[in-house]
Amino acid sequence: MKVARSIAELTGLRDEIPATHRVGFVATMGALHAGHATLIQQAQALSDTVVVSIFVNPLQFGPGEDYARYPRPLEADLDRCAELGVDLVFVPAVGDLYPPGRQVAVSAGTMGTVLEGAVRPTHFDGVLTVVLKLLNLVRPQVAVFGRKDAQQLACVSRMVVDLNLDVRVVGAPTVREPDGLALSSRNVFLSPADRGLALSLVDALEKAAAQSDLPSALDAAWEVLDKASLDPAFVLDYLAAVNPETFAEVGADHGGDVLLVVAAKVGAVRLIDNITLHHPEPLVPLTVPRLPTPR
């Protein structure tokens, strides 16, 4: 495994990859866990050479968020990448990606201002700015992102379409811990009591998925979350049913696939999760046009 610690090193090593190789890419902020391993394995299945980036992106953290304390076990992450058979790891410094005088950034548009974007203004602008930079530098044919960060996946997919980027974006399934909690680098900050509360997110989604229609699904989820919210350590940010591609909220009469997204602060840790609800399309009465009366 090779490691590039600057853009110049990455450029040189990227140029050594045979032109016939399909390059897969996984962007991470480090603190790698089994969820990241799944992304890497998905990239390996779809490509010949896999590049992983490790970069804690300051642009996607807002004031008062956990940028300073975000875990950065770089050597352990590099060892994990080597074990997983990664070909090239890119570990840039902040000054590499954001030089002095930087002015231009990417806007996530309306999709980046709702739900997670409403709670964390400019977050998705920061995500898309760094992802675009990394895609330009790595030049992959395939980029794999986790479905746990569903709104991020939707924003990246939209950017690729809108900016005509020559890369295929693939969403990998959410990986969960044995108790069902979605894997996150922030889970290590949960106390035992807070972890029990965090499982309310999983319980709400599972109960929603067991229902046959969207109104019942929302009622089942709210029942769980209302109970969890009685504990002051649990602060719900949102629960919403959205179109998985646009993140526009859908009405109770919506049929077809819906993404149910939830976010809450549990103790000092903010967690997100989601599940796809598969409901039948509503029946539309067939209107038979009246045939003209023969003359």
Active site residues: 36
DSSP sequence for 53-99: EE---GGG--TTSSTTTS---HHHHHHHHHHHT-SEEE---HHHHS-
What tokens were used for 275?
């599940």
103 marked as part of a ligand binding site: no
Confirm whether residue 41 is marked as ligand binding: no
Please tell me whether 186 is known to bind a ligand: yes
149 is in an annotated binding site: yes
Q: Is 33 annotated as a binding residue?
A: yes
List all residues 6 or more positions away from 211 whose beta carbon is below 8 Å from its beta carbon. 217, 219, 220, 277
35 annotated as belonging to a binding site for a ligand? yes
Distance between CA atoms of 92 and 5, rounded to whole angstroms? 5
Q: How far out from the chain centre does Cα 265 lie?
A: 18
- Sign of the Cα torsion 76, 77, 80, 82 reads negative
Instruction: State yes or no: 185 annotated in a binding site.
Output: yes
On whether 184 is known to bind a ligand per the annotation, the reply is yes
Residues contributing to the annotated binding site:
29-36, 60, 146-149, 152, 175, 183-186
Residues contributing to the annotated binding site for (R)-pantoate:
60, 152
Residues contributing to the annotated binding site for ATP:
29-36, 146-149, 175, 183-186
